[in-house]
Chains A and B, each alone.
Chain A
Amino acid sequence: MSIQTALELVLAAVVLGLAAWAVAARETSAAVVGFIAYGLLIALVWVALGAVDVALAEAAIGGGLGGVLLLSAGARLRENEKRAAAERPGAGARLAAAALSAMVAAGLAVAVLRLPTPAPTLAPQAAANAAATGMGNPITNVLMAFRAMDTLLEKFVLLLGLVGVWSLAADRLWGGNPGPRHQADPLGLLAFLARLLAPIGVVVGIYMVWTGADHPGGAFQGGTVLAAMWLLTMMAGLTDTPPVSSLRLRLVLVAGPGVFLVVGLAGLLFGAAFLSYPAAYAKPLIVAIEVAMTLTVAATLTLLSAGAPEQRLER
């Protein structure tokens, strides 16, 4: 066994241990902490699998936004714990569930072990057509050009998710600011950290979008970092969420899918097909879409983490 394989086995064992802890922990808060640590380590697994783009996305979501979302929800649901525990299914049901899960896992394991060799791959095609977009990062090419339809629809899903979250607001709070207003000492430690970290984070986020053309990175990863920085200033009490009735906010939210859709329709009118880019303008068009998408992703993810409107609109 090579030292590399030993390392991979250790990493996989630690990840599995954290997943098992997130499942088995008695208290919900303990399970949430386990799941956050799991998210951090999964980023390491993606690096070991050679997928740095995915590692960046996982580090930003699993390490940052996801943890904030689950921790604050867990704190608010604390009183719910005992009541839910009373509904724990009996030993027979648990045994049946374990058998079912084991069967599903065994089926998947057989499928993974019997994958065809040599493995089919689209990597050479992606590399051969990179010249059509002028960008060197194959994943950005797949996301923005070769399978742009997926990415467009994903942006609509994000928007629909946000509409769903907002629609949960009580009638009297509609139009107000999402989430509770965070109280914090404006001269305190958290505000100090937010003032120092947020500018660095904004630069890192923009850098990630820019470098995404040729190196690992991209609009989603950059947007997530920007969202995390916005959330940090909110948690430090320096800013508040914008009211959901704000027109400017809504413009930012539809900017990404809107620009994407307009470019796609222009491709239908002037080019070969929906979402086809004319070769001469492919890179500027993709960069324009990415900039608009970054803003949308940052705003949408922040507001998704903040939750439904909970503050009355101040007039």
Chain B
Amino acid sequence: MSGAVVFGMCGVAVVGLGLYSLITNPHPLRKIIAFNLVGSGAFLIFGAVARRSATTAFSGDPTPRALVITGIVVAFSATALAVALLLRLFDAAGSATLGADAQSSTADDASGR
């Protein structure tokens, strides 16, 4: 019973940390990591919910766990797509920041590619 509470709270804290980093961290790759942390925290909360119903016969509810496995796949493909977008932006513009004036100030860097 207590394992569900401990790891559920752990998941809650990871969501909070990830959300903060997602908002404040200017580096796009760090935002992708933060997005993954938020997802991972949500999965942990799912895991805690599944664990709460553990009895001697069952180790927990299989439905949220199956959803988490599906979620891990989807999160990975979203991460790969985001990383590919980021690399393409970097190759095309010579810079990959999200600020408004990023494109104009760094156009000369692109000649190296």
Determine whether the beta carbon of A109 is less than 8 Å from that of B33. no
* Residues of chain A lying within 8 A (CB to CB) of residue B87: 73, 76-77, 307-308
Size of the A side of the interface (Cβ < 8 Å), in residues, is: 96
* Complex Cα gap A228–B53 (Å): 34
* Complex Cα gap A38–B11 (Å): 13
Determine whether the beta carbon of B23 is less than 8 Å from that of A74. no
Given A19-B18, A84-B27, A105-B16, answer yes or no on A45-B102 (Cβ-Cβ < 8 Å).
Answer: no
Residue B104 is within 8 A (CB to CB) of chain A in the complex? no
Determine whether the beta carbon of B54 is less than 8 Å from that of A50. yes
Determine whether the beta carbon of B66 is less than 8 Å from that of A70. no
Interface string of A130-173 (1 = CB under 8 A from B): 00000000110111001100110010011001101100100000
B7 smallest CB distance to A (angstroms): 6
B92 smallest CB distance to A (angstroms): 8
Interface string of A17-28 (1 = CB under 8 A from B): 001101100001
* Complex Cα gap A57–B9 (Å): 22
Residues of chain B touching chain A, judged by Cβ–Cβ distance below 8 Å, are 2-21, 23-30, 32-34, 36-37, 40, 43-45, 47-55, 57-63, 65-70, 72-74, 76-81, 83-88, 90, 95-99, 102, 106, 109
Determine whether the beta carbon of B70 is less than 8 Å from that of A150. yes
* Complex Cα gap A220–B74 (Å): 12
Determine whether the beta carbon of A83 is less than 8 Å from that of B78. no
Checking A83, A94, A100 against B95 with a beta-carbon cut-off of 8 angstroms, the contacting residue is A83
A220 smallest CB distance to B (angstroms): 6
Determine whether the beta carbon of A50 is less than 8 Å from that of B51. yes
* Residues of chain B lying within 8 A (CB to CB) of residue A15: 10, 14
Determine whether the beta carbon of A121 is less than 8 Å from that of B53. yes
Determine whether the beta carbon of A84 is less than 8 Å from that of B26. yes
Determine whether the beta carbon of A121 is less than 8 Å from that of B58. yes
Given A49-B7, A121-B53, answer yes or no on A69-B24 (Cβ-Cβ < 8 Å).
Answer: no
* Complex Cα gap A95–B31 (Å): 18
Determine whether the beta carbon of B52 is less than 8 Å from that of A119. yes
Determine whether the beta carbon of A123 is less than 8 Å from that of B60. yes
* Residues of chain B lying within 8 A (CB to CB) of residue A126: 62-63
* Complex Cα gap A308–B97 (Å): 20
* Residues of chain B lying within 8 A (CB to CB) of residue A109: 9, 12
* Complex Cα gap A157–B74 (Å): 7
* Complex Cα gap A85–B40 (Å): 26
* Residues of chain A lying within 8 A (CB to CB) of residue B34: 23
Determine whether the beta carbon of A45 is less than 8 Å from that of B7. yes
* Complex Cα gap A46–B11 (Å): 12
B1 smallest CB distance to A (angstroms): 9
Determine whether the beta carbon of A8 is less than 8 Å from that of B3. yes
Residue A54 is within 8 A (CB to CB) of chain B in the complex? yes
Chain A, residue nearest B105 (CB): A83
Residue A31 is within 8 A (CB to CB) of chain B in the complex? yes
* Complex Cα gap A165–B112 (Å): 23
* Residues of chain B lying within 8 A (CB to CB) of residue A81: 27
Checking A4, A12, A35, A61 against B72 with a beta-carbon cut-off of 8 angstroms, the contacting residue is A61
